[in-house]
A and B are shown apart, each in its own frame.
Chain A
């Protein structure tokens, strides 16, 4: 028998993911010739929706609440998905999304500590978020806060960075079981397929060999993501979310040209039509 509450929860996440995708297209089109990191943002819609809707603990009226879960966007170029997710979580006013990448906007191309609510850390230089997560987990333990979890959102291309593996080794060494790395495994980086640019296969075995639990999951299945986020064990947890770069827009799916790209009017119209109004 399907748990109705869970089914509703999954539906809410799917709705949020659909909204995030529509926002991504609107924001990218509004950014005009500045372009936007479309591919790796569209791939994260469900990952972010399932995290912010019903998984992560936070208090939108007290964002510094000690018991909150910490969310660190290590793949900062997915700001284009992150800001709409913050809007879905009602941490950020949706009206502000259209300022993305505008001069003087708080919604810069990569998150910055410029007063925007819900941003714990600035990012943009890849391979650094997991180390921050290690430090946060050490701090939480010292504060005897053993309930908060620390989610670090990373890219699969980002895992090329050596500092990721320094952090991974230290997380298991320090037994940081409050740490969760969510890897958006969309299989494409700037220059092409990850397997061709720099293969990090086998990805789950790499994390396991560094002393982590590793869970592979369909990164577009919100139910599966919610289940994965619920796993709590004695080790740090790597959730390897298998996704499609550019998910949801036919001409962007699996196309590395849309890693960071502008949208023409025709492309914008087609993308809007493909996404429609529903899920």
Chain B
């Protein structure tokens, strides 16, 4: 049984998102007898080497054919298995959008789809391997839960939680190797229940995935300037935690969403839709990737191009006040 200890969280962080995925897969193999893993020529890249060695009959490699993989996952799910399907986020969502739509959304088959290197995790390979629109694609489809974990520990916890849920689920993995640690100790993870990491009263940053860490750092910088900030880890984008939103909208002057995703249709869009519908008279700022494909480059370079480093987030918020 996996234990969340400071030592383990450091190890999971060092392994990066794929490594954490691999750890969770090994755990699930023990706890969920019906769990199977599907990959499209990315078992190594998905951190599944040990899984492959230990459970060769529970790993299906579909070759470079993602659409078929998602369809086959539908058949496995209907027959009572618990398929976890992983490939690059852009291929898992945009390339297979119709298979996802028919199998997960329309038929509600409980496939657990994992998008690797979402955002800029593989941005060095160019825009084909960036995934800046997957939240928008997936949350616009009915019946699909969308989760974007903040660190290695949360990747493991959300995969275990997804295995225990009947819902078709998309898990979006962001960040590079040596992911910053958000959770050093165990905590209560529930799908759809966000976590208030810092409590303030002026600005509330609602962040997801890799941007939880950058927002925490930005909050420190803002605090030094006398600006009181809250930071919410909105790990589940759909269903959105409206209870938490109600609370922070009432108690802050400015809500800022932060995500390693396009400013179009992502977490910011989801929060904006909620706020418009409920007529809250609080200002909202959406921080994400502008509506363009950034140049290829390393992870930090990509974040900087898009204004997503802690320092840039801090500067942008300061200007709004």
Contacts and interface: CB of A to CB of B under 8 A. Distances in A.
B293 interface: no
Given A128-B102, A140-B79, A170-B63, A113 B71 contact: no
B138 to A, nearest CB: 17
Interface string B64-86: 01011111111111111101000
Contact of B79 (A130, A135, A166, A169): A135
B102 A131 contact: no
> Contact size class for B?
20 to 34
B71 A125 contact: no
Contacts of A173: 63
A136 interface: yes
A80 interface: no
B74 A135 contact: yes
A113 B74 CA distance: 14
Contacts of B107: 113, 121-122
B76 A166 contact: no
A136 B76 CA distance: 5
Nearest to A168: B68
Interface in A145-197: 162-163, 166-167, 169-170, 173-174
Contacts of A166: 62, 65, 67-68
A223 B221 CA distance: 80
Interface in B15-67: 36, 57, 60, 62-63, 65, 67
Interface in A74-124: 112-113, 120-124
A123 B74 CA distance: 12
Given A125-B102, A136-B78, A163-B68, A170 B73 contact: no
Interface residues of A, number: 30
B78 A138 contact: no
Contacts of B185: none
A263 B71 CA distance: 35
A135 B75 contact: yes
A170 B69 CA distance: 9
Interface in B103-119: 103, 106-108
Contacts of B83: 135
Nearest to A173: B63
Given A136-B79, A169-B63, A125 B68 contact: no
B80 A139 contact: yes
Interface string A36-68: 000000000000000000000000000000000
Interface of B: 36, 57, 60, 62-63, 65, 67-81, 83, 98-99, 101-103, 106-108
19 contacts: A123-B102, A124-B102, A128-B102, A128-B103, A131-B68, A134-B75, A135-B71, A135-B83, A138-B75, A139-B76, A139-B78, A143-B80, A163-B71, A167-B68, A169-B65, A170-B63, A170-B72, A173-B63, A174-B60
Given A128-B102, A163-B99, 9 more contacts: A113-B107, A131-B75, A131-B99, A133-B75, A134-B68, A135-B79, A136-B76, A139-B79, A167-B68
